[in-house]
Amino acid sequence: MNIGDFFKKIGHDLKVAVKKIGHTFAAVFIKLFGLQAAKDFSAAAEALLQTEFGQILLDAGATFIAGLESGTPLLTIIVGLVKLIITEAEKAGVAVGEDLAHLLASLIVNKVKGNFQAVSKVSAAP
């Protein structure tokens, strides 16, 4: 196997792993809250992140989000996103507490991982 094929295989394996994580997230979320509630939550989370402020957060957080693929510990990514969210909210004239910033950071990470999309594709509870 040449080096190019090696990296292609690693990339493919990473995509498969992320897809499995999304399906695991969907199964657990649906089991805890039911199919409709899980779909409603996922749709609402996606809608929040499609707003102007949501797009600002996704764009500004791209550096942290890239860390998901490079193996940066999730806690490090969340801490960076929380600080970023508080800063961006202050720029918009809104004081955001750490609890809301953590929630938004979690939504961003789950969107990037494809977890909300995985929930939306489920047609029946597992």
- Type of residue at 107: L
50 has pLDDT over 60: yes
Strands (E), the chain: none
- Which residue range forms the structural domain that includes residue 25? 3-121
Reported as a single tens digit per residue, the pLDDT across 55-74 is 988 888 888 888 877 888 88
Tell me the residue type at 25: F
Considering the entire predicted model, what is its pTM?
Answer: 0.71
Structure confidence by residue, pLDDT tens digits, 97-117: 999 999 999 888 888 888 888
In a domain, 126, yes or no: no
Q: Is residue 9 part of a domain?
A: yes
From residue 74, give the alpha-carbon distance in Å to each of 15, 57, 92, 109, 122: 17, 17, 27, 9, 26
* Across 22-26, 55-59, 91-95, least confident range: 22-26
Q: How many domains does the chain have?
A: 1
- Give mean pLDDT, residues 84-96: 93
Question: Is residue 34 one of the residues assigned to a domain?
Answer: yes
Q: What is the pLDDT of residue 15?
A: 42
Q: Confidence band (pLDDT; 50, 70, 90) for 22?
A: very low
Q: How confident is the model at residue 1 (pLDDT cuts 50, 70, 90)?
A: low
DSSP sequence for 57-73: HHHHTHHHHHHHHHT--
* Burial (Cβ within 10 Å: 0-12, 13-18, ≥19) of residue 64: buried
79 falls within a domain: yes
